[in-house]
Amino acid sequence: MRRYAVFGSPIAHSLSPFIHAAFARQTGIALEYVAIEAGHGDFAEKLAASGVDGANVTLPLKEDAFALCRSTSARAQRAGAVNTLLHEGDGWRGDNTDGLGLVRDLTERHGLDLRDRRVLLLGAGGAARGVAPALLDAGIHSLYIANRTAERADALADALGDPARVHPRGWDALSDLGEFDLLVNATAATRTGALPVLPMALVAPRSVAVDLNYGASAVAFLAWARAAGCAQALDGLGMLVEQAAESFSLWHGVRPETDAVYAALRARVETSPAAGD
């Protein structure tokens, strides 16, 4: 039986083992999938000791995982972050399925047309790096990256290599940016219940807000989005399922169906909204 894991911190409430167990039953593939707590200081050691054939990586380790890889996919290179590891010889190949998972959820599950949309991305860490390339590939008009450390926003913009569409900004510039069609929260701050101050002028009547977190971690941002008048306020649960399906496909060569798994997770999170991946 092949063995897989998700690494991150905190990881106790991760839904990834539930998701991959459901995918395994659906496809008839025998596997073991566990959650392993790891931080910056011990991730490499725990990964090496785990004996896994592949792994998912969540906060705060996506950039650490990128640095560990012997080779990386083109989309991981653009992101500078990895959320999926595949054993390759005696090393690791890294990929990033976060962005594709987000775009699939927004376009296929929620019916959004991302073409020519003005998008605000809050945050410039591993989560933001994972989704930014896919948003650009989906045909958005422009991507504004706002981060409390402006240098990190600049670094992500440079990595994306699309100066005509990508505009890094410091957090203090938010009030001057106008309205956005899509607002994406990729910060980790809301995991501790601390929502940075956001001007409501960012929101237009038809704006859509999405938090890459789900459960308790998404409550503060989604409450702000509703209060500001967003037409839709979405959490990251659908993205979690879709990116997991892409990882599963990379490991096993078959992409599972996601709708039933998403429905089961939605019911589970509404019953017990603890923070997870």
CA distance 48 to 8: 15
Would you say 147 is a known binding-site residue? yes
- Catalytic site positions: 62
Would you say 214 is a known binding-site residue? yes
In this predicted structure, the answer to whether residue 190 has a pLDDT above a threshold of 90 is no
CATH assignment, 2-96+242-271: 3.40.50.10860
Q: Locate 26 and state its tokens.
A: 């659906």
Q: In angstroms, how far is CA 13 from the centroid of its own chain? A: 16
99-235 shares the fold of 2-96+242-271: yes
Stated pTM of the model? 0.94
Q: How confident is the model at residue 193 (pLDDT cuts 50, 70, 90)?
A: low
Q: How confident is the model at residue 276 (pLDDT cuts 50, 70, 90)?
A: low
**What are the residues whose beta carbons fall under 8 Å from the beta carbon of 270, sequence distance 6 or more?**
none
In this predicted structure, the answer to whether residue 277 has a pLDDT above a threshold of 70 is no
Would you say 98 is a known binding-site residue? yes
For the ranges 49-58, 127-136, 188-197, the lowest mean pLDDT is seen at 188-197
pLDDT at 269: 87
DSSP SS3 for 110: coil
Q: What is the mean pLDDT of the chain?
A: 94
Q: How confident is the model at residue 273 (pLDDT cuts 50, 70, 90)?
A: low
Architecture of the 99-235 domain: 3-Layer(aba) Sandwich (3.40)
Would you say 212 is a known binding-site residue? yes
Would you say 124 is a known binding-site residue? yes
Would you say 204 is a known binding-site residue? no
Helices (H), 28-138: 43-50, 62-68, 74-79, 98-104, 126-137
Domain ranges of the chain: 2-96+242-271, 99-235
Tokens 């020519």: give the residue.
Answer: 116
Would you say 148 is a known binding-site residue? yes
pLDDT at 25: 97
